[in-house]
Every structure is written in structure tokens, then in C-alpha cells.
Chains A and B, each alone.
Chain A
Amino acid sequence: MSAGHPAELETLFGDYPLDSAFDEMREPGGDVRSHYRALAETLARLPQAELERCKQSAELSFLTQGITFTVYGREEGTERIFPYDLLPRIITAEEWDRIERGLTQRITALNLFLRDVYFDAKILTDRVVPSELVYSCKHYRRQMRGLQVPRNVYIAVVGSDLLRLNTGEFVVLEDNLRVPSGVSYMLTNRRVMKRTFPQLFHSYGVRPIEHYPQLLLATLRSLAPEGRPEPNIVLLTPGVYNSAYFEHTYLARQMGIDLVEGRDLVTHDNVVYMRTTDGLKRVDVIYRRVDDDFSDPLIFRSDSALGCTGLFNAYRAGNVTVTNAFGTGLADDKALYAYVPDIIRYYLNEDPILPNVKTFLMSDENERKHVLANLENLVVKAVGESGGYGMLIGPHSTAQQREEFARQIEANPRNYIAQPTLDFSRAPCLIGNHLEPRHVDLRPYVLFGDKVNIVPGGLTRVALEKGSLVVNSSQGGGSKDTWVLE
């Protein structure tokens, strides 16, 4: 069967460019991939005005639901909706199966790695990972040495960033092991999508993701301290001015747990309590959305007002579970990332299912020379940053920026890594009244409690600006609903 009515499809596609990058919807020859056909036909049949109406009603629905993120540094209109693209990104069952196995393998190995590093450090003794790399990481927490965490689970909630290369293969770009965000957009995108294209959605046989909050709650419950059969679980937020505040409230509500701020918590005798209208109530599990640095002014940054004084001591005493554990940022240091394939082989004796992106370590002299000579073709990243900050994208940079980075690399090689500029995949987006390809990534959400759980899907982020490679919401990115087929 051909892809709908050719004439209408043609107007829809317009001069849709196809080049070396993998296109999620179309094959290199221009045909629509089989799992996108029904979508293309539906789009071709819809009148322009109807598409426009769908788009507007979706946007209005985000605004009235208050699904916004906060943009820092502006007084007026600091809340914006996260731009949403109407067209779903579709992933086949086979593709998903590989992703799921790959991520399970990765989180299992990374948890074993953290346990090892904070106890016996065998992997360092065996020289699989250089010990200076671990001990010089700014997210390494000395305080975690020898501290037993429930079920040995350091990382319970992960949102890894995947890219699809022009071979069609998915690779891992980053493991976000500290406080990954965006899962609420995954959930609300789905809700809006079901309302916008109900029949299409139904006809596709899309696997559900809506039970994520329930799985998250079960994960948190499984990590409660022993002897607390009915644990009081809370979500710790930095507060209403945090850019992900909407998500914190959303998850707390969906899980039916209290959303607390640092000022709601007090510790006494190494037990954490929250201030309620009925007096103090003991807290057993904290799902924290506050960085290590801001969690306890007594142990970490003393100028932080976001955390709870004494939290770490209560944690050390085993009276409260905090997840993700402190010090997990070590394992998503961008320089350590280069060693994850070795880490997987070391602990699991398996080959990595999802490959890494080639990464040059600036602490290695030969690699550094190579990188400095080829800056205009590479992407340079500061190892401890996230959210698209502290980055140099070689092909889009000026000579001055490259010079600046070169100087910084020479001054502090440990702080930087470089990767090839990736020709990652693009998916069609509705721009104006026709389709244009935009770069997309995929962030699936992995949960690790008594077992690994990954809801089929994730957040597909879109670099909405033409030609842009940056998908972060703080830098002009948007998102799509992600369909994993039965």
C-alpha cells in the first residue's frame, strides 16, 4: 500500500530534506517507513485548518493545566509552556526490546560500580578504572565510604539520554544519575495526545506508560528502612522557584505522597520528621529532587537553605532512605562515562548492548592533542555540567570560542571531554503548516528497586530550531509523545 494520497503527502512534506542523518519517519529514498504509514495517511487527510486547531487546543491545554517550566532571571512571564510537537515519535517493538535490555544492563552495572567504589574499590585496584579519575570527581562523596544503603541500590531513578545514529542504532549519550527530570512531560504529553488523536492512537496499539507513578512509588517503598512496614514516603523539592517544580507537584500528587521542602523537615536524634498540623511526623523515605550539594548544610554546602540540617546523619544512621543516594553523580561524570563499557564487562561479564559515543579524555595526552587540533569538528563538554551548559559545539562555534575552550582544556584537562559531532536522527515536526525534520533524542525512565522497571517510551526531546543540535528545554527544546508499539 502506498503512503496515502501522493499529492496531499507532497504538500505536507513540501521540500522536506533527507540527507545522511537517520530520519525517523522516512527511508533514505523518501518512502514513509512502514510503522509511520498510518500516521502519514491521517495527516495527509486532515485539512490544514484542523491541524492548526489541534495544535492550538493542545497548547491551551498545557497552559490551563499549568504545565510550565520556570525560566530563570526574568520578572515578568517567568512561566512558559514546554513546546509540544503534535506528531508522535514511534518506536517498534524490536527496537524497544534492545533499548530495554541495554538500559537494564547499564543501571545494574552502574549500581555495582558505586557499591564497589564506596566499599572495597576492587575495580580501582584492578586498574579497570583509574582511581585518580574517581577521587578527583567533584561528585565523589567521601562521606559515603562504607555506608550501607538499602538493597545496595544507589541509583533508583535514572533518565538516560539516547541518540540514534545514522546506522539506525541507538547509543547512550549520558546517564543522568542524580536528579533526572522530564518524566511529567512524558506523562502529560501522552494525555494530550490521546485527546488530540484518539482514533489514530487506538489503531496503533501503543504500549501504556501511565503507570509510571505507581511503579515509582513501589520502587521507593521497596527501599524503605527495615522495620518500617508502612513507610512515610515524601518527595523533597527545592521549592516553587525550581524549574521542575511542576513535575515535583505532579509526581507527588500522582503518587499520593507529601511534597515537602527543606523547611518542612526537622531532625531530632537522627530521625527525620516533618511538621504537620498534627505535630511532628516521622519520615522514612525521601525521594529527593535536590542536588547533593544542597541537601544538608551540615555536611555539604553550608550556605544552602534548601535542604534539611542533620539529614545526612539520619541517613547514615539508617533511619531514613534518601534516593537517589548521595554521591551517585560520580557515575555520570562525563569522563567516567568513557569507562562504562568496561564497567559493564567487569561486573557482568557481558558486552554492552547499547554502545557509548566515542569519547576523548582530555587527561590523556595523545587524545588531548588530537582534540585540540580538531576542535571545529568536535563537541567539548565540561564533565560535571548538565542541561546543555558548559558546552562547545565545534561546527557551530567561532574561532574565539574555540580558543577560549582550548585554554580552559589546557588549564584543567580533567574537567573536559570531547566527542565527535553526532549526526543523530531527526523526526518530522509540524512547523507552520508543513512538516520539517528536527533533531530528536530519547530519554527513557528507568526505575531500580527490588527489580528494574522501564515504562515503554520516554521523553522525546526536539531541537526546535532548524539545524540545532541542542534539545534541552532551557535552550529552546520541545518534546513529543513517544509511542512504543506492541
Chain B
Amino acid sequence: MLSRVADSLYWMSRYLERAENTVRQLDVTMNLMLDTGGASAGSRWQQLIAALGNPEGCEWNGNLEEMAGRLVFDALGHASITYCVNAARENARQVREEISTEQWQRLNRLYHQMHSAQVQSQFRASINDALASVVDGIHLFKGVTDTTMIHGQGWQFIRLGRYLERAYAIATLLEVYQAELFSPHEREHSGYQYLEQVGLLRCCTAFEAYCQVYTADLTADRILEFLLLNRDFPHAIRYCVDGVRQAVEAIQRTGGRRPPDELTAGIGRLHAMLGYTTISEILAGDTAAFLHSIREQCLRIHELMYRYYIHYSIQSALSI
């Protein structure tokens, strides 16, 4: 597969994953703001922005509707949903011949939806419905991706992008919220704490899945354990890293070139770290540093993957 094509598929996938993450976090945050007992709107917004990687131009100005609108529609703001959908489509457009017609039509429809005349008014009427329909569009795209595209190298690069982006996003989210999770403010009604915890799980579509594993008895260490170490839940970091590993192995199988030891080792190390560490060990140590290290390792995997598959030097390729 052409390196440029692999690159585009990878980023198409990452941008859509990013859009979905932004939609969900925005939705949850706005829901939490409805209950007055918790943190102030400004500090909630700051947390949201931090969990999205501190994109520029999103500083709180006191007007929630305007801020939310910016995060949805601002085509120049790098974290905005519109920006991500545009970027995903632009990447898809450059590899139009590699993806299926169904995929392209699905993504194109989402793109036109974000740019349609009705969407702004729909957004004002009911932000929840508007956000839900965006997530629907993304889910449909993922569905046709899995059912209409050949599960070859291109599809593996899509998977790789999806899981790497997701692992990174969840690690960022947990890093922002973990301190608060373990040192709740004194509150009159413990109901607020419950809402916060449910909110965190909902950011990862994890509430129902959590209940199936642990019942609705929410505790901070279990939430962290679930989102970090569960091996069966698609929005748990361990599951994502598993996905990254499988994708890279499959790319190697279909291509025949052995990835450099550095890359295999990098993925293996992160995989082992999540597979062989217990939650009590993590909590006994520096949790924030642990989460931060996950992010660093994700970045490293991205760099190595890039250096090997996408931007390699001609000289190194000729000498093989």
C-alpha cells in the first residue's frame, strides 16, 4: 500500500475518533452543568478543555452557548467537531479509491450535515439531539468501514489510528479528572458525586458496561481500574493498546516487512504495563505520572510507526 494512502487512512480514522470524543465530552459536560451543586461553569469548562488537550481559542468567556458553538462549528479551531470532520473527509477524499463507496457516502453525508443550513438551528433547538446525530453519523461510518471495506492493510491502518487516538484521549481524560475522583469536595448531597462519576464513565460510553462488571456501586478505584485495565471493553486503554498491537502485527503480516525492534518493543512495553499492573499498584504509586507515561508512550509509538511506514528515507529503503 502506498505510504501516502496509509497516512491518509490513519488520519481519517484519528480525526473521526477525535470528533467523537469531543462530542461525547461536550455532551456530558453540558449535562453536568444543569445540576447547580457542583463546580462552577467556568471551572467545568476549563476541565473539559484540558481533557481535550488544551486547544487554543476555547478559553471560557461566560457564555456557554457561544463556547459550545465554537467547539462544534469553529472550522479553524483544531479541537472543534467541524474541524475534525472536515479533516477526516479531506483525508478520505485523497484516498477515495481506497475506501468503499459506502464509506465515502457516509462520511460525505456527515460532512454535508455539519455544513448544512439547518444544523445551526437544530443545534440551538436541542444541542443533545444535534450531538447525538453527529455521533450516529460517526458510528454508521465505523459500521460500514467494518462491513464494506476489505480487511487488508488499509483497514488495519484505520484501526491503528482509531485505537491510538482513543488510548491517548482516555489517558488525557483520566489525567485531568483523577485527582478530583479521589479527593471529592465535601458536599451536602452525595448525589452530586454520583453524577460526576457517571459523567466520567459516560465520557467513555462506559457507564452501562461498568455496571455489568461491578454493579452500580461506583467507587473511584473501580472506575479507574475499569477504564484503564479492562481487557474486554473497547473504551478501556488496555483494550485499545491491544488493538494497536494487533493492527501493527497484521500490517506486518500483510506486508511482509518486519517492523523495527523499537516499534515492537514500544508497543509490547505499553501492552505489558497495562496487562501486568494491578490497580492497587497504580494507586500506591504516582497515578498522574502513570497516566502521563501512557500518553508519552502513545506519542512514541506514533513517531516510530511514522518513521518506519510513512516517512522513511529512500536510501534506507534501497539498501534493503
Bound Cα distance from A65 to B107, whole angstroms: 10
Residues of B within 8 A of A276 (CB): 1-3
* Tier of interface size on chain A: 20 to 34
Q: In the complex, are the beta carbons of B97 and A264 less than 8 A apart?
A: no
Residues of A within 8 A of B143 (CB): none
Residues of A within 8 A of B318 (CB): 268, 280
Which residues of chain B from 121 to 169 have any CB-CB distance to chain A below 8 Å in the complex? 153, 157
Which residues of chain A from 56 to 78 have any CB-CB distance to chain B below 8 Å in the complex? 63-66
Residue A275 interfacial (CB < 8 Å): yes
Residue B62 interfacial (CB < 8 Å): no
In the complex, which residue of chain A has the Cβ closest to the Cβ of B101? A65
Instruction: Bits for A274-309, please: 1 = Cβ < 8 Å to B, else 0.
Output: 111111100000000000000000000000000000
A49 to chain B, nearest CB (A): 23
Bound Cα distance from A268 to B153, whole angstroms: 26
Q: Which residues of B contact A (CB under 8 A)?
A: 1-6, 90, 93-98, 101, 104-105, 108-109, 112, 153, 157, 251, 255-257, 309-310, 312, 314, 317-318, 320
Q: In the complex, are the beta carbons of A260 and B2 less than 8 A apart?
A: yes
B138 to chain A, nearest CB (A): 17
In the complex, which residue of chain B has the Cβ closest to the Cβ of A248? B97
Task: Name the one of A240, A260, A261, A279 contacting B257, with C-beta atoms under 8 angstroms.
Answer: A279
A262 to chain B, nearest CB (A): 11
Most chain A C-beta atoms within 10 Å of own C-beta, residue among B4, B101, B157, B314: B4
Task: Name the one of A250, A266, A268, A278 contacting B256, with C-beta atoms under 8 angstroms.
Answer: A278
Bound Cα distance from A263 to B314, whole angstroms: 12
Q: In the complex, are the beta carbons of B314 and A274 less than 8 A apart?
A: no
Q: In the complex, are the beta carbons of A275 and B3 less than 8 A apart?
A: yes
Instruction: Bits for A332-352, please: 1 = Cβ < 8 Å to B, else 0.
Output: 000000000000000000000
Q: In the complex, are the beta carbons of A240 and B105 less than 8 A apart?
A: no
Task: Name the one of B2, B90, B109, B314 contacting A268, with C-beta atoms under 8 angstroms.
Answer: B314
Q: In the complex, are the beta carbons of A277 and B96 less than 8 A apart?
A: no
Assess A277 versus B6: contact at CB under 8 Å? Given A64-B108, A246-B96, A268-B314: yes
Assess A249 versus B3: contact at CB under 8 Å? Given A66-B108, A278-B257: no
Q: In the complex, are the beta carbons of A278 and B255 less than 8 A apart?
A: yes
Residue A39 interfacial (CB < 8 Å): no
Q: In the complex, are the beta carbons of A258 and B2 less than 8 A apart?
A: yes
Residues of A within 8 A of B310 (CB): 277
Residues of A within 8 A of B4 (CB): 261, 263-264, 275
Bound Cα distance from A266 to B317, whole angstroms: 11
Q: Which residues of A contact B (CB under 8 A)?
A: 63-66, 239-240, 245-246, 249-250, 252-253, 258-261, 263-264, 266, 268, 274-280
Q: 27 A-B pairs, CB-CB below 8 angstroms?
A: A63-B112, A64-B105, A64-B108, A64-B109, A65-B101, A65-B105, A66-B108, A252-B97, A258-B2, A258-B5, A260-B2, A263-B4, A266-B314, A268-B314, A268-B318, A275-B314, A276-B1, A277-B2, A277-B3, A277-B6, A277-B157, A277-B309, A277-B310, A278-B1, A278-B256, A280-B314, A280-B317
Residues of B within 8 A of A274 (CB): 2
Residues of B within 8 A of A245 (CB): 93
List the count of A-B residue pairs having beta carbons below 8 Å apart. 76
Residues of A within 8 A of B314 (CB): 266, 268, 275, 280
B217 to chain A, nearest CB (A): 47
Bound Cα distance from A292 to B262, whole angstroms: 43
Residues of B within 8 A of A64 (CB): 105, 108-109, 112
Given contacts A249-B96, A266-B314, 20 further A-B contacts (CB under 8 A): A65-B105, A65-B108, A66-B93, A66-B96, A66-B105, A250-B97, A253-B96, A253-B98, A258-B5, A258-B97, A259-B95, A259-B97, A275-B2, A277-B1, A277-B3, A277-B6, A277-B251, A277-B310, A279-B317, A280-B314
Bound Cα distance from A266 to B105, whole angstroms: 33
Bound Cα distance from A204 to B60, whole angstroms: 65
Q: In the complex, are the beta carbons of B2 and A264 less than 8 A apart?
A: yes
Bound Cα distance from A275 to B104, whole angstroms: 25
In the complex, which residue of chain B has the Cβ closest to the Cβ of A258? B2
Q: In the complex, are the beta carbons of A249 and B105 less than 8 A apart?
A: no
A284 to chain B, nearest CB (A): 16
Bound Cα distance from A276 to B6, whole angstroms: 8
Most chain B C-beta atoms within 10 Å of own C-beta, residue among A253, A259, A276: A276
Residues of B within 8 A of A278 (CB): 1, 255-257
Task: Name the one of A63, A65, A249 contacting B97, with C-beta atoms under 8 angstroms.
Answer: A249
In the complex, which residue of chain A has the Cβ closest to the Cβ of B93? A240
Residues of A within 8 A of B109 (CB): 64
B74 to chain A, nearest CB (A): 15
Bound Cα distance from A279 to B318, whole angstroms: 8
B301 to chain A, nearest CB (A): 16
Bound Cα distance from A277 to B257, whole angstroms: 9
Residues of B within 8 A of A260 (CB): 2
Bound Cα distance from A155 to B273, whole angstroms: 61
In the complex, which residue of chain B has the Cβ closest to the Cβ of A268? B318
A468 to chain B, nearest CB (A): 30
Bound Cα distance from A249 to B103, whole angstroms: 14
B12 to chain A, nearest CB (A): 13
A167 to chain B, nearest CB (A): 43
Bound Cα distance from A391 to B173, whole angstroms: 61
Residues of A within 8 A of B108 (CB): 63-66
In the complex, which residue of chain A has the Cβ closest to the Cβ of B256? A278
